[in-house]
Amino acid sequence: MATVHLRIGDLVWGKLGRYPPWPGKVVSPPKDLKKPRGKKCHFVKFFGTEDHAWIKVEQLKPYHPHKEEMIKINKGKRFQQAVDAVEDFLKKKEKQGGKEQDTRSTSIQAADSTAINGSITPTDKRIGFLGLGLMGSGIVSNLLKMGHVVTVWNRTVEKCDLFIQEGARLGRTPAEVVSMCDITFSCVSDPKAARDLVLGPSGVLQGIRPGKCYVEMSTVDPGTITELSQVISSRGGRFLEAPVAGSQQVSNEGMLVILAAGDRTVYEDCSSCFQAMGKTSFFLGEVGNAARMMLILNMVQGSFMATIAEGLTLAQATGQSQHTFLDILSQGQMASTFVDQKCQNILQGNFKPDYYLKHIQKDLRLAISMGDTANHPTPMAAAANEVYKRAKALDQSDNDMSAVYRAYIH
Ligand SMILES: NC(=O)c1ccc[n+]([C@@H]2O[C@H](COP(=O)([O-])OP(=O)(O)OC[C@H]3O[C@@H](n4cnc5c(N)ncnc54)[C@H](OP(=O)(O)O)[C@@H]3O)[C@@H](O)[C@H]2O)c1
């Protein structure tokens, strides 16, 4: 069986022992159940039997693409009951979904389209990439690994060297990259950098011709993204915004979550690129929606990070062990890889950037401004933003966002 790339909630065909491939759902394992060592596997709940088991990824296939084939091969009564149980489950889910189901279905389709990992067929379109920072570096590495033809450019040209060694081509200016390529991605710091790159001398706009695709992956505000979309379209270019959720580590692992909006045909043309760089992608409709959703997510993440730092420092200030605080937190419902990694790093005094503090503060600032425009209160984000501003004043901009901890040390 092909290797699949799955997430919790995905429906699958799982092969267990002598049984035929059986319909099931990827679920979270019970907390105390250890994952088998060695091969990568998922915990699957089987329909019809209510059995659970760890199944190796090579023994799993996504449900929908293989449904017809499986139903043709297997005719047993219990098998048919299991298939009926999945179909019932799907019907109920659809009924409950209502309006929200409509928007999610786009994302689920997108996720399904990225399901097969390790069997990506790279697009034959020529790919350009502008911006080789923490995010861009991981993305370009994964595009190259999956066999894409990539031309790179970075303001500090030395950062291109590694990728040239890995097989990338070098563009001398953003305009040249766009001229040489069919689809050009960019991932730079902030709205100003994104605008400079497009509108500046030898910028992206100089290379745009009818049919060229430009994909903006930087996290910026809806106003900036709309402006960029308009100028690219005014030259006959096709535009997609595609900011990402993740971190440097997640980018290196090719496990980003991509939020896309704009020209759907560009989204489809980017399919193999998104599969190479991410674990899933969502198409959110018209330009600006991805920027909005991304800022909301980062606002929550940034505020949460500040709250964790506040808790850790309050523990210390009141004579409580920070390690015990983390141990207790890890046993409760708030446990997550994010909480664990950030707290461990703080306790070890390791603030090496995985997600720059200056960027999360930028995201909070942009989210607050978005709330302002919508006349919607964002008091939590506003409070968190003040703490990040203090951390920046303490020279923590180029550290990881967890360095917000230092703003609480007095
Ligand atoms: N890091 C994360 O975990 C993460 C996660 C999700 C989203 N994001 C978002 O992704 C974007 C990139 O983040 P990052 O972490 O990769 O940032 P980064 O490491 O700071 O890299 C920033 C990139 O932007 C370039 N740049 C800055 N100003 C420029 C300008 N005026 N003209 C041209 N290029 C310019 C830099 O070039 P030089 O190399 O020459 O400085 C560098 O390539 C940001 O919008 C960030 O909010 C980041």
- Per-residue pLDDT at 34: 65
Give dist(CA 380, CA 383) in Å, integer.
Answer: 5
Question: Domain ranges in the chain?
Answer: 11-95, 120-286, 293-408
193 lines ligand 1 (CB under 6 A): yes
- The structure's pTM equals 0.77
- Per-residue pLDDT at 102: 38
- Per-residue pLDDT at 68: 84
Give dist(CA 245, CA 156) in Å, integer.
Answer: 25
Report the atom number in ligand 1 closest to the C-alpha of 174.
33
- Per-residue pLDDT at 65: 83
C-alpha of residue 342 to centroid of ligand 1, in Å: 21
- Distance (Å) of CA 285 to CA 97, 107, 110, 291, 342: 19, 11, 13, 11, 33
Reported as a single tens digit per residue, the pLDDT across 263-290 is 999 999 999 999 999 999 999 999 999 9
**Two tokens at 336?**
């997550």
211 Ramachandran zone, left/alpha/beta (phi>0; psi -120 to 50): left
163 lines ligand 1 (CB under 6 A): no
Q: Which CATH superfamily is domain 293-408 in?
A: N-(1-d-carboxylethyl)-l-norvaline Dehydrogenase; domain 2 (1.10.1040.10)
Helices (H), 76-172: 77-113, 134-145, 161-165
Architecture of domain 11-95: Roll (2.30)
204 lines ligand 1 (CB under 6 A): no
Cβ proximity of 351 and 402 under 8 Å: yes
Architecture of domain 120-286: 3-Layer(aba) Sandwich (3.40)
Token match 């279905």: residue? 105
Q: Give the contacts of 245 (CB within 8 A, at least 6 positions apart).
A: 256, 257, 259, 294, 297, 298
Report the atom number in ligand 1 closest to the C-alpha of 247.
3
Report the atom number in ligand 1 closest to the C-alpha of 218.
45
Point out the residues of the chain with pLDDT beneath 70.
Answer: 1-5, 17-18, 31-34, 37-39, 50, 96-119
Q: Is 409 helix (H, G, I), strand (E, B) or coil?
A: coil
Cβ proximity of 110 and 282 under 8 Å: yes
Report the atom number in ligand 1 closest to the C-alpha of 131.
43
Reported as a single tens digit per residue, the pLDDT across 200-256 is 999 999 999 999 999 999 999 999 999 999 999 999 999 999 999 999 999 999 999
Q: Give the contacts of 303 (CB within 8 A, at least 6 positions apart).
A: 364, 380, 381, 383, 384
247 lines ligand 1 (CB under 6 A): yes
